[in-house]
């Protein structure tokens, strides 16, 4: 009987204190959930003790009606976005709550940012590794280049040609001929693969390509004043356009027969 009296007191408390609009009450979600649990318990007790709790049928019907209204209103409040369990009590996400949707999207974006940061870190590590490998290779090449020795190689060639020196105060102003001796020296690093600065046969081929047109011709056809100096300068300039960039012309020597010579 004491249990029945307790049920009567719960329902009368509900009737007397919650007859207004439930939305006017500033309840927390936890309070609302607690009240829902109590009302569910009352509903069960109503079904079991409906015959002995109330004095008349009208009072019973009013209590049941009020109970149903309160429960409906509470459930509506619980589903309202402002009272979302995720927002207020960090419970499970409510898919109908805009705040929860934003929170879920934010968490997803944070996860994506972490993934991007991880990818960027891996790319940076790979890039740094490639840089280190390239630096090591460059250092090895520099060391190898330092170990290589620069040397001077040379060849000799000759051609027969006539010339005269206009306005020269002597017999050289008349047409005459010489066997012209040419010496060429080239400087460069020794190639580790073949042990050469430059194949001497190639160097001689280059020099002959320059001087062969002079052979058995009058040099005045090419030079206004065909002296050893001018011929040596011409040979050097031509050879510099033929040689590879890692090779330099060291000296060019041109000699008239057994006489004088010029070195450039």
Q: Catalytic residue at 172? A: yes
Question: How far is it, in rounded angstroms, from Cα 204 to Cα 141?
Answer: 31
Maximum CA extent, the chain: 159
- Residue 18: Cβ within 10 Å count: 18
Q: Catalytic residue at 122? A: no
Q: Catalytic residue at 57? A: no
Please choose, from the candidates 117, 220, 237, 116, the residue with its C-alpha nearest in 3D space to the C-alpha of residue 177. 220
Please choose, from the candidates 106, 103, 102, 85, the residue with its C-alpha nearest in 3D space to the C-alpha of residue 94. 85
Catalytic residue of the set 67, 178, 183, 256? 256
Catalytic residue of the set 73, 158, 172, 185? 172
In 41-75, which positions are buried (b, 16+ CB within 10 angstroms) versus exposed (e)? ebeebbeeeeeebbeeeeebeebbeebeebbebbe
Q: Which two tokens stand for residue 64?
A: 């049941």
Please choose, from the candidates 174, 176, 172, the residue with its C-alpha nearest in 3D space to the C-alpha of residue 160. 176
180 close to 168: Cβ distance less than 8 angstroms = no
Catalytic residue of the set 26, 145, 193, 216? 216
| Catalytic residue numbers, as ranges | 172, 216, 256
């Amino acid at each position: 009987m004491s249990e029945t009296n307790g049920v009567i007191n719960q329902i009368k408390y509900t009737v007397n204190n919650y007859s207004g609009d439930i939305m006017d009450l500033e309840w927390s979600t936890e309070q609302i959930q607690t009240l829902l649990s109590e009302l569910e318990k009352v509903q069960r007790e109503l079904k079991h003790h409906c015959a002995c709790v109330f004095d008349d049928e009208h009072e019973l019907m009013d209590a049941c009606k009020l109970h149903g209204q309160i429960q409906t209103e509470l459930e509506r409040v619980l589903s309202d976005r402002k009272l979302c369990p995720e927002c207020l009590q960090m419970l499970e996400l409510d898919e109908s709550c805009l705040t929860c949707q934003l929170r879920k999207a934010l968490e997803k974006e944070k996860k994506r940012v972490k993934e991007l940061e991880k990818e960027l870190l891996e790319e940076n590590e790979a890039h740094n590794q490639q840089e280190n490998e390239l630096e090591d290779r460059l250092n090895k090449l520099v060391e190898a280049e330092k170990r290589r020795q620069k040397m001077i190689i040379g060849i000799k060639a000759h051609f027969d040609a006539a010339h005269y020196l206009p306005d020269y105060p002597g017999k050289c102003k008349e047409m005459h001929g010489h066997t012209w001796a040419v010496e060429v020296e080239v400087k460069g690093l020794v190639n580790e693969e073949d042990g050469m600065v430059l194949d001497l046969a190639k160097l001689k081929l280059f020099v002959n390509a320059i001087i062969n047109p002079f052979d058995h011709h009058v040099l005045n056809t090419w030079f206004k004043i065909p002296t050893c100096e001018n011929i040596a300068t011409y040979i050097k300039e031509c050879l510099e356009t033929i040689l590879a960039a890692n090779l330099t012309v060291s000296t060019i020597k041109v000699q008239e027969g057994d006489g004088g010579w010029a070195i450039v």
